[in-house]
Structure 1
Amino acid sequence: MLARRSMMKAGLTTAVAGLLGGASRPPGKDQPNILFILADDLGFADLGCFGRDDFATPALDALAAGGLAMHRSYANSSVCSPTRLALMTGQYQYRLPAGLDEPLGVNPALGLSDAVMTLPDMLKRAGYATSLVGKWHLGGLPQYGPRKSGYDRFFGIYEGGADYFAHGMTIRGKFKHDLWENETEIHRTGYLTDLITERCVEELGLFSQTSSPFFLSAHYTAPHWPWEGPEDEDVANRIRDSFHYDGGSDAVYAAMVRSLDRGVGQLLAALKANGQADNTIVIFTSDNGGERFSKVWPLRGMKGELLEGGIRVPTLLRWPGRIAAGTRSDLVQITMDWVPTLLAAAGIVEDDCPALDGHNLLPALLNASIGPDRMLFWRHKAQDQCAALAGKIKYLSLGGHEFLFDVEADPREVANLKTADPASFARLKAAFEGWNSKMLPYQPSNFSYELRGKGNLAGY
């Protein structure tokens, strides 16, 4: 099963080339451009259109007004790099060693192998130009990197986070710079969120000069720690350690999210100015639930937890002429679904794709339906957490205690239905155990938050 699911590039070359009519099929006029915007540690209710009322996010609210707001959207993990692995592969991240929680911070030998077929790989074979701007976090040089996994160009950071002004991390007193142009280390002056936005605008300009459709991954680091707003360079100079647990405030967090919102506004303005807006799918989401200053109401929990606040994320989708403007969806969806969905949008038939765990959402999205009930699964070694979701019913095991919740009627997960509905409890628990038996087991050397003694605020 693992060999079949690993999507080795060599084995797919003939099949994909046959599907596309050659290794470099000329792009068709019906192929949409794709702008995928990924925030880092953004909470479910951190946007005005999702409930934030103490600061404004006008650009993202406008994006929602022009498209679809998805309120039952889930991240593949409650922490960063596993979700990013799922976004690249369309699989449960637990099928690959690099996806077992957050091993990348302590095991540099792990990463996304260039032998694994990825979303940018497959889009590139379909005639797309591809770029990643922002955070990679799927393994470092020389063995791993965006350009080994399907991107034509890369500008950003390889690690899990970076100081917004120094563009690197200070851990236990040692600073490591981390800003790159492809595989070349570079130095720039400026706030990292702004640098990412500026480069994305440049990329959109370059794409406008070609006839090929494009796939631009705009992976912001905001609002991930360290807690620094655009005006906080003096604060940054005083931070002794990038983990920085004594720092931040609601005001600083608001400034970070507002800078992210302004950046998204600039990307949308560039699409319009370049004449690209009408034929571009724009997706905005987060890699996991929010951190300490995030708003997740009416949910409970945060990054690092499998409560809804740790895995449910705000998601926006705009596709002019295909997705009705100003609509809301309660379609249950997870990060890895974007792979088959975007492949389908690009004209690649799902039946001819590699085996994927994600589902093609396109039929449900275009028909504004919520789709059939499906099972989703999570696990997280920290605090011995696991979860299974079937529609509105969720099984959760947390720290040795088991629960059953109706997350539609009880989004705060406080009424344990374990004894009231024993049949559903047994069904979801058994489904989780069956699914888990097909995933890679945790190994003693796998990264665990407890090993750092930091609880759910540690790591990436």
Structure 2
Amino acid sequence: MSRLIFPLFLLLSISATAQPDKPRPNIIFIMTDDLGYGDLGSYGQDVIPTPFLDQMAREGMRFTQAYAGAPVCAPSRSVLMTGQHSGRTLIRGNFSAVEVPELPKPRRIPLRAEDTTVAEVLKQAGYVTGMFGKWGLGEATTSGEPNRQGFDEWMGFLNQRRAHSHYPEFLWENQDTLKLADNTDGQREQHTHPLFTDYALDFIDRHHDTTFFLYLPYCLPHSEIAATQPYADLYRDKNWTDKQQHFAGMISMIDSDMGRLLNLLQAHGIAENTLVFFCSDNGAANRYEGLFDSSGPLRGRKRDMYEGGIRTPMIAWMPGSVPEGKTSDYPWYFPDVLPTLAAVAGTEAPKDIDGMNIAPVLFGEDLPVTDRFMYWEFHEKGFDQAVRWKNWKAVRHGLDGQLELYNLAEDPTEDNDVSRKNKKVVKTIERYLAEARSPSIYWPAGKAAPRD
């Protein structure tokens, strides 16, 4: 991909609303599935080439302390969509801890009609909204369907378990099934990833002269570990297992399509007016120790409350507006996406959210780190909690578990529990934890939820 060069376009002082004399930017939010913090070249990967994403990082801003909403799929997506952290958003796990017999899937809790999503906020602000990929926040006929949650058009998986196969017999397109004839009768010809990209590029082609929001929640590199054959073949000369070759091929598929997408924005002349994000929904499913080192230097992986489970690569790109080649260690997380995008769009965010507007950071301001707490909870192992406060990171396993405390400024790998030496910090975080969450009838604290 050739270097993208555009005229200077400066967004001045984005705070509560966008500047009235500037066009509102298009917004593209790309979220991969189980991509680890260390899986991109710009984050330390030196085995799998990611040239287009690395160039995106060079031409934009790379965040080193951005966090997903949860250490697994559905709650992280619910946090992203609603701006409420995983102790207050409705969907707090892939499966609920209790069954709801009247639902199509008794443990798949859908978003409610009264829940407000990022898509609804932007649609009300005049954006055309589209999504292509994995949803996971409501089955067909429920209030959680994407078309009932602010998306004008969408195509992909409603059910995240069905997304475990990249060769399904059907997907959903709006409220109808989309049959994949090449995947019937045992055939495996149509991989879903290229299909999602094709739909996304077509959406841009059709709406490039409007103002649009494109949400692209890819299913790669999540299970099943299956790249298309040409991409797996890129690594046939390596002394790797078939699974490792296919994993690397999946990363290359993502990277190649980022090049296609960014080049299309350039071709339409809208790159300088399109804000693009790239991240993952949670940490790496497999660390691939000693080969890919997908968690990078971080402790843990998917389903862990340590940094490897919740910290995500995050790249923001908008030529002429997002500073070129900047690395930011400003800490933020998925609840911040809704208020930030609302600010960029020049509209108001809902009041009952946990995130904050970090748009000034995106556009080059060096804001001081706030005194706020960032919160996560997880129910598959019983009840785990995590808190980040300034440079402090706390983890607690179980309702009555001892609080672990780490100083991320001195110990980013969370090797040394310093809770005994910092009792005042522990008490401050414990006071916060006592009020951080709201009770959930679907995910009661202490009752383990099934693993998806």
TM-score when normalising by structure 1: 0.81
Distance 1:441 1:330, change over 3 A: farther
Residue 406 of structure 2 is aligned to residue 405 of structure 1: yes
Q: CA deviation at 1:443?
A: 4.5
In structure 1, what is the Cα distance between the partners aligned to 2:54 and 2:231?
A: 28
Residue 425 of structure 1 and its aligned partner are, at CA, apart by 1.5
Structure 2 matches for 1:263-342, cutoff 5 A?
A: 263-292=257-286, 293=288, 295-342=294-341
1:86 and 2:87 are equivalent in the alignment: no
Q: Partners in 1 of 2:77 and 2:117 — Cα distance?
A: 11
Q: Give the equivalent residue in structure 2 for 1:192.
A: 192
TM-superposed deviation, 1:164? 4.9
Give the Cα separation in 1 of the matches to 2:313 and 2:443: 32
Q: In the TM superposition, what is the alpha-carbon distance from 1:372 to its structure 2 partner?
A: 2.0
Work out the number of aligned pairs and report it: 403
Which stretch of the first structure deviates more once superposed, 140-149 or 89-98? 89-98
Contact residue 316 and residue 362 of structure 2 kept, 8 A: no
- RCO higher in structure (CA 8 A, sep ≥6): 2
Q: Deviation at 1:319?
A: 2.1
| 1:112 counterpart residue number | 111
- 1:302 and 1:109 map into 2 onto residues whose CA distance is 24
Please list, as runs of the form range in 1=range in 2, the aligned pairs for 1:222-301 lying within 5 A after superposition. Answer: 222-231=220-229, 249-292=243-286, 293=288, 295-301=294-300
- Greater CA deviation, 439-448 or 334-343? 439-448
C-alpha distance in 1 between matches for 2:322 and 2:388 = 27
Structure 1's 205 and 391: CA in aligned 2 closer, same or farther, altered over 3 A? same
Matched residue, 1:375: 373
CA displacement at 1:115 relative to structure 2: 2.6
Secondary structure of 2:156's aligned partner = strand
Alignment partners' CA distance in 2, 1:382 and 1:375: 23
> Judging changes above 3 Å, is the alpha-carbon distance between structure 1 residues 96 and 331 closer, same or farther for their aligned structure 2 residues?
closer
User: What is the identity percentage for the equivalent residue pairs of Structure 1 and Structure 2?
Assistant: 31
Equivalent residue letter for 2:384: Q
Q: Which of these residues, 28, 34, 39, is aligned with residue 32 of structure 2?
A: 39
1:373 and 1:231 mapped to 2: Cα distance?
49
Q: Cα deviations across residues 43-84 of structure 1 (Å, max 9, x unaligned)?
A: 011100001111111111111111100100011100111111
Q: For 1:38, give the aligned amino acid.
A: M
Taking the aligned partners of 2:265 and 2:366, their CA distance within structure 1 comes to 25
How far, CA to CA, are the matches of 2:175 and 2:446 in structure 1? Answer: 27
Structure 1 residues without counterparts, runs of 5 or longer: 1-18, 21-26, 168-176, 235-246, 452-457
Partner residue, 1:220:
218
Residues 322 and 444 of structure 1: CA distance in aligned 2, closer, same or farther (over 3 Å): closer
Structure 2 residue identity aligned to 1:375: F
Aligned twin of 1:432: 433
User: Retained in 2: the 8 A contact 1:114–1:149?
Assistant: yes
Q: 1:249/1:343 Cα in 2 relative to 1: closer, same or farther (>3 Å)?
A: same
Distance 1:40 1:416 in 2: 30
Deviation, 1:96, is: 4.2
* TM alignment of 1:161-180, pairs within 5 A: 161=161, 162-167=163-168, 177-180=169-172
Select between 409-418 and 289-298 the one with higher mean Cα deviation. 289-298
Contact between 2:66 and 2:332, CA under 8 Å: does it hold in 1?
yes
Contact 2:31 2:281 in 1 (8 A): yes
Displacement, 1:355?
2.7
Letter in 2 for 1:433: A
Structure 1 residues 145 and 38: CA distance shift in structure 2, 3 A: same
Match of residue 357, structure 1, among 345, 354, 358: 354
User: Structure 1 448/197 Cα, relative in aligned 2: closer, same or farther at 3 Å?
Assistant: farther
User: Which one of the candidate residues 175, 185, 188 is aligned to 1:183?
Assistant: 175
Is 1:70 aligned with 2:67? no
Structure 1 residues 109 and 220, CA gap change in structure 2 (3 angstroms): closer
Distance 1:372 1:307 in 2: 21
Residue 102 of structure 2 aligns with which residue? none
Q: Residues 112 and 267 from structure 1, CA distance in 2 versus in 1: closer, same or farther, beyond 3 angstroms?
A: same
Secondary structure of 1:166's match?
Answer: coil
1:110/1:164 CA distance change after superposition, 3 Å: closer
Kept after mapping to 1: 8 A contact 2:39/2:296: no
Contact 1:159 1:178 in 2 (8 A): no
CA distance in structure 2 between the partners assigned to 1:266 and 1:378 by the alignment: 35
Note closer, same or farther for the CA distance 1:447–1:194 as it changes in structure 2 (3 Å cut): farther
Aligned partners of 2:92 and 2:166: how far apart in 1?
29
Equivalent position SS for 1:98: coil
Which residue does the alignment assign to 1:149?
149
Distance verdict in 2 for CA 1:252–1:100, change over 3 Å:
closer
| Distance (whole Å) between structure 2 residues aligned to residue 364 and residue 89 of structure 1 | 21
Question: For residues 248 and 147 of structure 1, what CA distance do their matches in structure 2 show?
Answer: 39
Task: Give the structure with the higher percent helix.
Answer: 1
CA distance in 2, matches of 1:419, 1:214: 51
AA aligned to 1:356 is I
> SS at the partner of 1:258?
helix
Any idea what the Cα deviations from partners look like across 1:425-459, whole Å, max 9, x if unmatched?
121122112213x343664699845x4xxxxxx52
How far did residue 95 of structure 1 move? 2.5
- Is the CA contact 2:396–2:404 (under 8 Å) kept in the aligned structure 1? yes
Measure, in 2, the Cα distance between the counterparts of 1:113 and 1:441.
Answer: 14
The root-mean-square deviation of aligned C-alpha atoms, in Å, is 2.7
Q: Which runs of 5+ in 2 are unaligned?
A: 1-15, 100-104, 183-189, 233-240
Assess, with a 3 A threshold, how the Cα gap between structure 1 residues 403 and 163 changes in structure 2: closer, same or farther: closer
Superposition deviation, residue 166 in structure 1: 2.2
Tell me the distance in 2 between the aligned counterparts of 1:248 and 1:370: 47
- Residue 138 of structure 1 corresponds to 137
Mapped partners of 2:35, 2:368: distance in 1: 24
Report the CA distance shift for 1:96/1:368 in structure 2 as closer, same or farther (over 3 A).
closer
